[in-house]
Amino acid sequence: MDAYQNVGIKRRMRRFFRRDGRALIFAMDHGFEHGPTDFEEHWEHVNPKVIIRKVVRAGIDGVMMLPGLARIAGDEVKPNVGLMVKLTSKTNLRPKGDQLLQSQLGFVEDAVKLGADAIAATVYWGSPAEDVMMRQFAEIASYAHDLGFPVVQFAYPRGPYINERYGKKEDYRVVMYGARAAAESGADMIKTYWTGSRETFAKVVDAAAGVPVLLSGGAKTDNPVDFLKLVWEVIEAGGAGAVVGRNIFQRENPEPFIKALIRVVHRNEDPEEAAKAEGLI
């Protein structure tokens, strides 16, 4: 039975990762986590079918969504593209004191029925509600692994003690702690913050003990080359790629930008050269 599960996990991981062990994944959970205002720069992208059609056409490796959006637009995620369904979230409308908890909004069975290739959940390491998210993650991972599905942990250090002790949640010591906690809690992929330098991100990768570490994209950079450079640093640090939302859907024409990202992630191309090749500069 164990052998079957492992084969299932490995096969499904390959839906996202190319032979080079890297992946570029599109994130589309912002309408829920941040609110639809995130789409106001290019309002047509509030329609998941429109933006997912574009990212798939550009050659993205995977798409991450919450279950409801996967019901609406999962069909646009063509069979050669991995579908990651995330089972926890929170809205930005919650009172401030409750923002440090992600609640479960779906079940492993839902993700399986939706045709997911991987199942994701967030843990805010350091939150007063860390215990709740650890249990959610444990339940999701245990069941998903039983069924042969890989589990992705969005391992985000976030909480009052972190700020007090480390100054900010992007301090590499706390990001690598979160990545290590994700690996030790059974994640098959880890998504986390940029730590500010290649050297420090390499330590995060080391701390994850072989579990692939993906960058969580962050706010859109005005200059597209700046984001390509950041992703290049992640790859040079041994990172396995990136999960990117705003830097894609907040651009008027995301397709050449994705193609440039693919050049950086999968072909080790210099960011400026990749941008030139795709007509971004």
Is 166 a known active-site residue? Answer: no
Which of the stretches 24-32, 52-60, 137-145, 271-279 binds ligand P6F when contact is defined by CB under 6 A? 24-32
Q: Is 69 in the site for ligand P6F (CB under 6 A)?
A: no
Cα 22 from Cα 45, distance rounded (Å): 26
Out of 5, 14, 18, 33, the only residue in the binding site for ligand P6F (CB under 6 A) is: 33
Q: Could you tell me the smallest distance in angstroms from the CB atom of residue 241 to ligand P6F?
A: 12
Q: Collect all residues with Cβ–Cβ distance below 8 Å to 66 and sequence separation of at least 6.
A: 29, 32, 85, 86, 89, 105, 106
Q: Could you tell me the smallest distance in angstroms from the CB atom of residue 123 to ligand P6F?
A: 12
β-bridge pairing 103-104 and 82-86? unpaired
Residue 118, phi-psi category: left (phi > 0), alpha (psi -120 to 50), beta (remainder): beta
Which of the stretches 45-53, 69-77, 212-220, 251-259 binds ligand P6F when contact is defined by CB under 6 A? 212-220
Two tokens at 128?
A: 């007063």
Give the H or E element holding residue 104.
strand 103-104
* Rg of the chain, C-alpha, whole Å: 18
Q: Which is nearer to ligand P6F, 27 or 280 (CB)?
A: 27
> Which x/- pattern, by CB under 6 A, does the window 143-182 give for ligand P6F?
-----------x----------------------------
Q: Which is nearer to ligand P6F, 66 or 280 (CB)?
A: 66
Is 191 a known active-site residue? Answer: yes
Q: Which is nearer to ligand P6F, 46 or 147 (CB)?
A: 46
- 21, 73, 120, 141, 242 from 208: Cα distances, Å: 15, 32, 17, 17, 16
Out of 218, 225, 238, 256, the only residue in the binding site for ligand P6F (CB under 6 A) is: 218
Q: Is 45 in the site for ligand P6F (CB under 6 A)?
A: no
- 70, 93, 98, 101, 147 from 90: Cα distances, Å: 17, 8, 9, 7, 26
Which residues are catalytically annotated?
156, 191
